[in-house]
Amino acid sequence: MDRFKTIYDKTWSWIRTRNDSPAFVSVYASIASIIIGILFGFILMLVLKPADSFYGLSQLLIGGLTSTRKLGDVFYNAAPLIMTGLAVGFAFKTGLFNIGAAGQYAVGGLFALFCAIVFRFPWWLALLASAVGGALWGAIPGLFKAYFNVNEVISSIMLNWIGMYAVNLAVANTPKMLANYYWKDAPAERTPSLKQVNPGAILPKLGLENILHENMSIAIFLAIIIAIIVYIILNDTVFGYELKAVGYNRHASRYAGINEKRNIVFSMTIAGALAGIGSGLYYLTGVAEYTIGVVLPAAGFNGIPVALLASSNPAGTIFSGLFIAYTQVGGNAMQPEFAKEVADIVIAVVIYISAFSLLFKEMIMRKNKKKHMNRIEKSGAHTEMNAYAKEGSSL
């Protein structure tokens, strides 16, 4: 019994010391934003349809857990979201706004499906191909920015649309990519189901489809592993350091000897590759097919909220991707009483409130500084004041 008490005490004192760490304060701020967002959604539901509002709230909070199929849906949707969140967040960290994740997603998906269906590659080769496709599409805005000084926002927006139309043209004009090549009465605007054309291209499921649902595969684990790799690259390698330096101040890093043109291109290429892998993870699960249409893939744009909620931190992107996927599955479960858009409203409010997080952080840091100042005065040491003054300004 005593051992449990010591562990409990030690854990609590560790958590309390973490109050000083900026990373933990960010987590507190994010949790506060999430609570406020859900509260807003609940109040909205109360205003619209008070009778069903508790049902709506329950679906929002636990909808993702109510069945194995829904839990599988959460992981299935989270994997591409994590990847596009990484794509946007990686670019943010290096000073670029990658609004072109949607186009990179589309082109990556094309490459993956092409290799899977036409060339009959195995899944890992098709996934690699999706990375190459996304990387190519991400390199173009990078090159335009580095060598022609074209703002990456406008070139990415242009390439989003060019990519979407190009992918549609490629699929529509390659007979082998359309379902009606294989079965006479299949729709002519869809790619064939991977299960029947090339089951070797479907991501391995490792028996998980028996526990959860057939849309479960190693996709989510791959996404998590890649997020960790990106985190290591950004924080522990010279290459990542140079990329971040170019992001903070392009001219200063050039003065320091870093080749900023090359690094801008690398940044966007890697970001594009990440978005492409996201698309590969989505399509190679074998559940959805690509349909020709003039809609930019939503997963591409949804990467922006994922990255913002995680403050572009790759490790945090895992959690924010899971959170947004979970909320969207909850939103789908709310139908037909409420529009599934209520989940999008909740996510939008969470992101908006995260803008307050800087204020939260300042409030908590100030409270901690006061606590420490009192402790220092009591103990009589004066050298620590400099350390805490520095910590306060590191916001």
Partner 1 sequence: MNLMADVISGTIAYAVPLLLVALGGMYTERSGIINIALEGIMIFGALFGYLFFRAVANGIWSKSHPQLTVLFAILISAIAGGLYSLLLAFASIKLKADQTIGGTALDMFAPAFSITLTWVVQGQGLTFIKLPDWVRITPYNFGMTPSVNPGFWETLFFRSFYLTTPIAFLILIAAAVVLYRTKFGLRLRSCGEHPQAADSVGINVYRMRYAGVFISGILGGIGGLAITFAVGSGFQSDVAGYGFLALAVMIFGNWRPFRILGAALFFAFFKNIAGMSGSIPFLPSFKNLNYAHFVYYMLPYIVTMIVLAFTSRKSRAPKAEGIPYDQGAR
List of residues contacting partner 1 (CB under 8 A):
44, 48, 97, 99, 144, 148-151, 153-155, 157-162, 165-166, 168-169, 172-173, 292, 294, 296, 304-305, 308, 336, 338-339, 341-342, 344-345, 347-349, 351-352, 354-359
Helices 53-62 and 22-48, packing angle to 10 deg: 150
- Smaller CB distance to partner 1: residue 336 or 380? 336
Q: Which of 98, 393, 134, 91 is nearest to 246 (CA)?
A: 91
Residue 178 per-residue DSSP state: S
- Smaller CB distance to partner 1: residue 362 or 384? 362
Task: Write down the least CB distance from residue 49 to partner 1, Å.
Answer: 9
- Both tokens of residue 215? 């849309």
Long-range CB pairs of 177-181 (<8 Å, 24+ gap) are 177/113, 177/114, 177/117, 177/118, 179/289
Task: Write down the least CB distance from residue 286 to partner 1, Å.
Answer: 25
Task: Write down the least CB distance from residue 168 to partner 1, Å.
Answer: 6
- Smaller CB distance to partner 1: residue 32 or 162? 162
Task: Write down the least CB distance from residue 288 to partner 1, Å.
Answer: 21
Task: Write down the least CB distance from residue 353 to partner 1, Å.
Answer: 8
- Smaller CB distance to partner 1: residue 171 or 219? 171
Task: Write down the least CB distance from residue 136 to partner 1, Å.
Answer: 15
List the beta bridge partners of residue 190. Answer: 291
Task: Write down the least CB distance from residue 5 to partner 1, Å.
Answer: 42
What is 193-261 written as a DSSP string?
Answer: PHHHH-GGGSPP-TTHHHHS-TT-STHHHHHHHHHHHHHHHHHHSHHHHHHHHHHH-HHHHHHTT--HH
Max CA separation in the chain (angstroms): 86
| Vertex 74 angle, CA 70 and 77, to 5° | 125
C-beta separation of 274 from 226 below 8 A: yes
For residue 210, how many other CB atoms are within 10 A of its CB?
Answer: 11
Burial group, residue 289, by CB count within 10 angstroms (0-12, 13-18, 19+): middle
- Both tokens of residue 156? 């990415």
For residue 357, how many other CB atoms are within 10 A of its CB?
Answer: 18
- Smaller CB distance to partner 1: residue 37 or 80? 37
Task: Write down the least CB distance from residue 22 to partner 1, Å.
Answer: 16
